[in-house]
Amino acid sequence: MDGKLTIRQWVAIAFLLRLLVMPFTLHGDLLHINKYPYFLSHGDWHVYEKAASDGVNYYPPLALIFISAYQFLAQFLFPPFESFLRSIAENGFDSVLSFDNLFFSLFLMKVPYLFFDGMLLSVGWKLLPNDEERRTFTVFWAVNPLAIYAPYMMGQIDLVPAFFTVLACYYSLQKGRGNLACLSIAGGCLFKVFPIIFLPLVVLVGGRNLKDYARLALVAIVPVALVYGGFYWISGKAVFKMFLDLSYNFDASQSLRILLLRVVQAGVYALVAVHILFARQGEIDCPLLIDYFLLIFLAVGGGLVLGVTQYWLWFIPFAILHAQRQPQRRAVFYVLLALIFLGGLRSRPAALGIFAPLNPEFFLSLPALQDATGFLFNQGTYDIVIDLATKAVLLSMAVVILKSLYGSAHFNFDWRRIIAR
């Protein structure tokens, strides 16, 4: 692909690309993510009530604790950062673009993502057998537009749970490390809820019988329940506001479309589960496990809103790990990235307006992709076409991977072994 550059040079390129955008890009999500932890970093634990009284929800408790701890440290070291955070916490976001230490504050708010980014890269390397594959993974990750845009331009936190999900995949491959895999899922869930979808998969891979399954599930569920329980004790049901706000997305009784989608998703999950149960003993290797994770995401991805760009970061590590082993499927990966671009970047603040810190009036006045598509086409029709095309790509990828799974030597349809468990 690139010919000459070494893996370390690609790491430097990855770092450079991220550094280049960190101080000069801002999205409201970054301010929201950093607003509420400010209160906790100053000793006020009633954060979820504050968010609920503002009519918004906040991320799960570990995200809150982690960002608060980071802010506590950073405010201590860099006092201007404290005044920036106090300004967004107390006065809202209206005057943020005229703040004196804006570039510096934006840079600091995104620094923790560099740590998780590096960790994700390092776990990705551990999943791969040789330097050449590690290098390919690094190239794909270094220049991946989503891996740069979502955390370092939007400031979204999804990179952290994505790291925990990859870590769960890594531990699932290590014999006797099922507990750590489940704890990784729990860690991810406490930053953002989505890694919970991988829990049944990790439990099935890590366990051998019902007792194992129950134990592993508890290893993941108990820490999550304890942390949520602690915050429920402090903030009451406000801690669950996120689930209530998103519940319309899960109410199958409201729409036949949602019902159909859930049936397809359950079907894919069931096929993955059956494959795990009937896989030959000890033959769940790295490529197979990556396929499992990717399949679960492909099923879930059918229900995601294409415009919420950061959600697609969840699957990028697995898509890269899959695509680098299957060069003939890389085109599909590129098509999917193109569709995410065509369906995302809808609002001006999320498109070129993300560079508003450099000149708010100029960058926020430049059109977003939706302005062009809305002018050229009927926007509603365009959205439906892109959405259906994405679902078709996800479904066809899922079918192809399932077909290859069930056609491989890994699969051994032996009922007696399952009953013996």
Partner 1 sequence: MIRFLTGLVFMAALGGDVALAGPPGLMERVFFYNDIYNFVGKPYPSPDFGRVRAVVQPFVSNCSNLNRVTIPFYVKDDARKGTLTFNLYQTGPGTKPLFSTAVDVGQFPSSAKIGTHYLAGVIHSIWFPPQPLSKKQNYFWELRADPDRPASGVGIYLTRPANAQLEPVSIDGVKGSAYGAFYSYCQFRFEWNRILSESGERLWREKYFLSFYLVLLGGVGAYFKKYAGK
Q: Judged by CB under 8 A, does residue 6 bind partner 1?
A: yes
Q: Judged by CB under 8 A, does residue 258 bind partner 1?
A: no
Q: Which parts of 372-411 interact with partner 1 (CB under 8 A)?
A: 375
Which range, of 94-102, 205-213, 214-222, 290-298, touches partner 1 by CB under 8 A?
94-102
- Residue 256 and residue 26: Cα distance in Å, rounded? 38
CA distances (Å), 309 to each of 26, 198, 306, 329, 346, in order?
Answer: 15, 20, 7, 22, 10
User: Residue 47 Cβ, how far from partner 1 at the closest point, in Å?
Assistant: 17
Q: Judged by CB under 8 A, does residue 362 bind partner 1?
A: yes
Which range, of 61-69, 160-168, 287-295, 357-365, touches partner 1 by CB under 8 A?
357-365
Give φ, ψ of 411 to 5 degrees.
-85, 125
User: Residue 238 Cβ, how far from partner 1 at the closest point, in Å?
Assistant: 13
Q: Judged by CB under 8 A, does residue 115 bind partner 1?
A: no
Residue 337 burial (10 A CB sphere; 0-12, 13-18, 19+): middle
CA distances (Å), 115 to each of 85, 140, 150, 192, 290, in order?
Answer: 21, 18, 15, 17, 23
- Residue 227 and residue 208: Cα distance in Å, rounded? 28
Q: Judged by CB under 8 A, does residue 245 bind partner 1?
A: yes
Q: Judged by CB under 8 A, does residue 13 bind partner 1?
A: yes
Which range, of 17-25, 32-40, 121-129, 295-303, touches partner 1 by CB under 8 A?
17-25
Q: Judged by CB under 8 A, does residue 21 bind partner 1?
A: no
Closest CA to 350 of 149, 99, 161: 149
User: What is the SS3 string spanning 39-63?
Assistant: HHHCCCCCHHHHHHHCCCCCCCHHH
Which range, of 18-26, 172-180, 319-327, 405-413, touches partner 1 by CB under 8 A?
18-26
Tokens in use for 405?
Answer: 């799974």
User: Residue 149 Cβ, how far from partner 1 at the closest point, in Å?
Assistant: 20
E strands present in 237-320: none
Tokens in use for 7?
Answer: 């893996």
Q: Judged by CB under 8 A, does residue 101 bind partner 1?
A: yes
Catalog residues that contact partner 1 under the rule CB under 8 A.
Answer: 4-6, 8-9, 12-13, 15-16, 19-20, 23, 54-55, 92, 94-95, 100-104, 107, 245, 248, 348, 357-359, 361-362, 364-367, 371, 375
